[in-house]
Amino acid sequence: MIDVSNLTIGYKDTTVVKNLDFKLNKGEFIALIGANGAGKSTLINTLIGINTPLSGKISWELKSTKKNMFNDVGFSPQSQLIDWYTNVLDNVIQGPLLAGYDLRTAQKYAKEALQLLDLYSLKDKAVDHISGGQQQRVQIAREIARKPKLYILDEPTTGLDVETSENLFKYLKKEVEKGALVLTSSHDLTLLEDYATQVLFINDHAQKYFGSLNNFLNDSTSLREKYLKERGK
């Protein structure tokens, strides 16, 4: 669904990661990992179109029945992207409404997402009167309520408790089993080990590994140990 070839990303004269080559397909749960500052958010923002590639190619193939194929994309950045002048429910329901669902269906999907993220009791609260972690959950719930085929989530578990994080990843795993593609960055490799199928590891301005989770964990060159060491800096 996303084919990246000889991609270099960054900002103007600053190269963040170079020579990226990978292909992401439906039915995969990809863990994007790397130390702080490795370029995970830069890569995600480039894939989604916020940043312009310095060089190389990104090809999307997303079969959609919707007028705009990006209505089948659920994107949650690290920075909070919510409507500060409405309540929790109104924020979440915007997701399916903007994706083209009718009001009744949007209400149903919004309720399900609120319950999944343990937000339903806060549905009438103004978003500027809830905690940062709860605001993060609102943003993720809005994207889940869109019922996308592709999830791109940048550090979605930041500010989430263990139970909510596990509920979110269990839900995403079920979506993958239905044919969705999930790309998520996270510092919690232990959590990802229980759900991811593929790993994309970037470090030292380059792609160090792309392949199966099992091979990454069992690699004889100790890629996992290198990742943990870099993360601990």
Architecture per CATH, 1-62+151-233: 3-Layer(aba) Sandwich (3.40)
Residues 6+ apart with CB under 8 A from 95: 74, 106, 109, 110, 113, 141, 142, 143, 144, 145, 146
Average pLDDT score over the chain: 89
For residues 37 and 52, the model is more confident at: 52
For residues 223 and 193, the model is more confident at: 193
On the question of pLDDT at 188 being above 80, the answer is no
For residues 175 and 203, the model is more confident at: 175
Evaluate whether 166 touches 204 at the Cβ level (below 8 Å). Answer: no
Instruction: Look at residue 207 in the predicted model and tell me its pLDDT.
Output: 94
How do the domains of the chain map onto residue ranges? 1-62+151-233, 83-148
Query: What span, in angstroms and rounded, lies between the C-alpha atoms of 128 and 69?
Result: 31
Instruction: Look at residue 27 in the predicted model and tell me its pLDDT.
Output: 95
pTM (predicted TM-score): 0.90
Structure tokens at 230: 């870099």
Summarised one tens digit per residue, pLDDT across range 1-25 is 899 999 999 998 899 999 999 999 9
**Backbone CA torsion sign across 181, 186, 191, 197:** positive
Instruction: Look at residue 1 in the predicted model and tell me its pLDDT.
Output: 84
**Backbone CA torsion sign across 145, 184, 29, 191:** negative
Instruction: Look at residue 57 in the predicted model and tell me its pLDDT.
Output: 95
Mean pLDDT value across residues 210-228: 75
Residue 31 pLDDT grade (very low, low, confident, very high; cuts 50, 70, 90): very high
Instruction: Look at residue 120 in the predicted model and tell me its pLDDT.
Output: 96
On the question of pLDDT at 116 being above 70, the answer is yes
Evaluate whether 2 touches 200 at the Cβ level (below 8 Å). Answer: no
Pairing mode of beta strands 73-76, 2-11: unpaired
Instruction: Look at residue 194 in the predicted model and tell me its pLDDT.
Output: 87
Query: What span, in angstroms and rounded, lies between the C-alpha atoms of 153 and 155?
Result: 6
Structure tokens at 95: 């997701």
Residue 130 pLDDT grade (very low, low, confident, very high; cuts 50, 70, 90): very high
For residues 167 and 219, the model is more confident at: 167
**Cβ-based burial of 39 (10 A; exposed 0-12, middle 13-18, buried ≥19):** buried
